[in-house]
Structure 1
């Protein structure tokens, strides 16, 4: 892809306001650096300037600065921006925080300057940096121009005066619009001091310095135009794409307690030594999705649009896969999956594959589920695909299963002991009497009533209990781990 194609493939958002004149200088050089022979070949760009009134940085203004930038990036994202241009050296002291919380590409200004120095001055080792006091304290340039390859040198104070801070931020400084006279003289003294310390090249760490470069006149060592170096680097596209963090989107609220149980199982299944090792989740808790069972076996409203709308929110929010911790909702998955750009991890088919792998000689499987799930045939179809036969409770016992889920003392009403547990125990006894050895808890509320992995019937027979929510959680974690491994191998 040539430079023109790359420019058209991206839309730049330039964050101005940290120095209105300097930001405009970067924007001008960005346009100037674009390989275009006519207007139509230039890139799409948004220049947002809301003047940020602060001096160098303290804890209060730094927080304001961070949130100001973050809000602008969010605004850019809504307007189709793909690449953020941040012409402010001080703001790059927290660029990692911005990158970790934005899906947009944020082009690193210090990396651009380092790339320029390495390319233009390959033999240079001693770098003179003209930067703000805060940037110096944070050792921003040392992070990029690291020892032993480079040595970073700063101007020394003269008579107790920080020449650079006074020249830029002083009452008659460059930020006040004074591009001649005393501010230039102070910067010239700072550059002369760097030269006296034996630097081979001077790198501005303030975007305002490019505004007075001509006034500084000829120096005995090269003075880099950091603004131009950044603009050219932005246009070149020769930087890494932003790291992506795998996100699991969860359709929540179907039902609410089952959603919490599923999230707990995700956490429990994740190999993590600290908080940051866990998987990013996007949960859209939408209890207003119409009841799936009422639609499948009665005249309840169709939940298709609600399910689809919830999935689309998760997709728009950056989810990589979608999990729906509701067995009955999977009767609608085939309707909505073709209209999504990301996959729904099908809890039913994943569970059935798990059964076949774990119990290779299995023939019949008991299914405890809502009457809607059973009537839809989704589990029966999934089981048959693996050569398995579905066994369900008798009509009388199925009524008790529904009461355990939907009854006044059922799990959806917040009960997890008493009559609801007795109903499920009776249903399992009935399935054992029918000869099954494995029972699927085919409603995501049922694991709240029965957390054991085995159950013993009235006749002493023992059956294995399979929780599809747990199987789904482990499959989602496996997807996340696989994505992380692929990203590491690419790096």
Structure 2
């Protein structure tokens, strides 16, 4: 059951980590703040529960250790599998790993320490120095100092060995000229009121965090965009596409590269065989592969197979995420890179040609498709599918001779730009930007490379350009009825569904 929308309630998971008492206090303060708020928000909160094995292991799970990190991650994954969209982390030590945790989950982790510093900036705008009452370990690792740098606030931390030292620590920090005191450990956050009055304001850390958790904006995702790749169509072309994604990513370290998930499915029926009347329809296999990518957290999909794009209109209509149309982005590139060219040579499979996907994309941008004559188109097919073709693992010999003959036929037709419009063909022209035969030259354009560049740009934040696609199918009637009843907050039962279908 997806708990993110149970009875219209906002859902949240509570991961205590090494601070179970902190969970209790934050929950209490959330309910208190919600009860006195101008608008009451129904909440659906799940609390992490420790299994017996976890309790036995607790003695060996030190705060800030690898075991602590993995335990927190398992709890977040459990909430993710239950459909919870966001989790609270009221454990200061767990924030040592928060960036790493957020990079490896789709669940939004609401950052408690960031919320505390944002509160200080808003409520105490003149504060320049903050005194933090934390644990010796967090003091040594300078966790709060890192957050302070981001907020342009100087941090002075004290590591408390026990609650009994709290009063003395507060007085020492005040003597250091701090403007605000911030409890930065579970013990200090639960016990700060025992200190009595001090000369500077004290932040109620768990109350501030509770209020942040009631803020809808805190539960909005801000994660790295993930590319999903339909692989195996064909396998070598998939590897080539991934190489081009890496090559086109401006990166100086591993972490600068984009997230990619690949569903390698060479069992998808051959696209050209079906389009030429000799094989099985690959639509369902392509759709099932796209659905797996969608369920794996992909934000958009690339299919490094030109011919497969003949089938994407009904598939994309049923997905929640877009497919980058290789034909459209390639045609856009051609129009921008070669504004004076109106005839484009196309080397492609018989299926791609029969589907008209490139012809339509080019014509929509004022360009015409130019093909090899039939005899030489047969040699293109042989270069791709033949016993010595690219799909059989060959990149020299007969397959190269066949493609060069087809290129010469296009040059003879005076084309200035040639599209390598089958994802296997660029393997025959590695790094080649142009080709010259018998005194004639044409630019070679690799749609796989164009697609890779666009995917990198999209993953790094560039908005998707409007794409001309087939109209989306209307949702099934049962989905439409469910949406209407969700809007009205009424129950959906078999009678209302059957009456809607009958209409």
Fold match, TM over 0.5?
yes
Q: Which residue is 2:89 aligned to?
A: 86
1:71 and 1:436 map into 2 onto residues whose CA distance is: 58
1:15 and 1:71 map into 2 onto residues whose CA distance is: 10
CA contact (8 A) 1:93 1:140 kept: yes
1:197 and 1:358 map into 2 onto residues whose CA distance is: 63
Residue 193 of structure 1 deviates from its aligned partner by 6.2
CA contact (8 A) 2:326 2:447 kept: yes
1:11 and 1:142 map into 2 onto residues whose CA distance is: 32
Residue 326 of structure 1 deviates from its aligned partner by 0.7
Residue 445 of structure 1 deviates from its aligned partner by 0.3
Structure 1 residues 224 and 265: CA distance shift in structure 2, 3 A: closer
Residue 332 of structure 1 deviates from its aligned partner by 0.6
1:363 and 1:125 map into 2 onto residues whose CA distance is: 63
Q: Which residue is 2:388 aligned to?
A: 409
2:461 and 2:192 map into 1 onto residues whose CA distance is: 51
**1:17-39 deviations in whole A, cap 9, x for unaligned?**
41333322222222222247999
2:39 and 2:59 map into 1 onto residues whose CA distance is: 36
2:32 and 2:268 map into 1 onto residues whose CA distance is: 53
Q: Note if 1:308 corresponds to 2:287.
A: yes
Helix, strand or coil: the match of 1:263? helix
* Structural RMSD (CA): 3.6
CA contact (8 A) 1:11 1:80 kept: no
1:106 and 1:482 map into 2 onto residues whose CA distance is: 21
Range moving further from structure 2, 196-205 or 244-253: 196-205
Structure 1 residues 258 and 122: CA distance shift in structure 2, 3 A: closer
Q: Which residue is 2:113 aligned to?
A: 110
2:366 and 2:292 map into 1 onto residues whose CA distance is: 36
Residue 153 of structure 1 deviates from its aligned partner by 4.7
Q: Note if 1:74 corresponds to 2:77.
A: yes
CA contact (8 A) 2:423 2:448 kept: yes
2:337 and 2:122 map into 1 onto residues whose CA distance is: 58
CA contact (8 A) 1:105 1:241 kept: yes
CA contact (8 A) 2:9 2:41 kept: no
Helix, strand or coil: the match of 1:332? helix
Q: Note if 1:327 corresponds to 2:289.
A: no
Stretches of structure 1 that go unaligned for 5 or more consecutive residues are 156-163, 168-183, 486-491
Aligned residues: 452
Residue 204 of structure 1 deviates from its aligned partner by 2.7
Q: Which residue is 1:428 aligned to?
A: 407
Residue 70 of structure 1 deviates from its aligned partner by 1.8
CA contact (8 A) 2:133 2:181 kept: yes
Structure 1 residues 291 and 225: CA distance shift in structure 2, 3 A: same
Helix, strand or coil: the match of 2:144? helix
Q: Which residue is 2:229 aligned to?
A: 250
Q: Which residue is 1:177 aligned to?
A: none
**1:118-143 deviations in whole A, cap 9, x for unaligned?**
66666766655332211110122333
Q: Note if 1:46 corresponds to 2:46.
A: yes
Helix, strand or coil: the match of 1:456? strand
Structure 1 residues 394 and 206: CA distance shift in structure 2, 3 A: same
Q: Which residue is 2:374 aligned to?
A: 395
Structure 1 residues 19 and 439: CA distance shift in structure 2, 3 A: closer
Helix, strand or coil: the match of 2:214? helix
Q: Which residue is 1:154 aligned to?
A: 158
Structure 1 residues 366 and 340: CA distance shift in structure 2, 3 A: same
1:38 and 1:240 map into 2 onto residues whose CA distance is: 20
CA contact (8 A) 2:9 2:42 kept: no
Q: Which residue is 1:206 aligned to?
A: 185
Residue 480 of structure 1 deviates from its aligned partner by 4.0
1:186 and 1:482 map into 2 onto residues whose CA distance is: 48
Helix, strand or coil: the match of 1:34? helix
TM-score using structure 1 length: 0.80
Higher radius of gyration, 1 or 2: 1
Structure 1 residues 131 and 332: CA distance shift in structure 2, 3 A: same
Residue 56 of structure 1 deviates from its aligned partner by 8.6
Helix, strand or coil: the match of 2:211? helix
Structure 1 residues 285 and 57: CA distance shift in structure 2, 3 A: same
Structure 1 residues 274 and 29: CA distance shift in structure 2, 3 A: same
1:234 and 1:126 map into 2 onto residues whose CA distance is: 26
CA contact (8 A) 2:245 2:453 kept: yes
Helix, strand or coil: the match of 2:22? helix
Q: Which residue is 1:450 aligned to?
A: 429
Q: Which residue is 1:171 aligned to?
A: none
Matches within 5 A, 1:264-279: 264-279=243-258
1:202 and 1:464 map into 2 onto residues whose CA distance is: 66
Residue 54 of structure 1 deviates from its aligned partner by 4.5
Structure 1 residues 307 and 188: CA distance shift in structure 2, 3 A: same
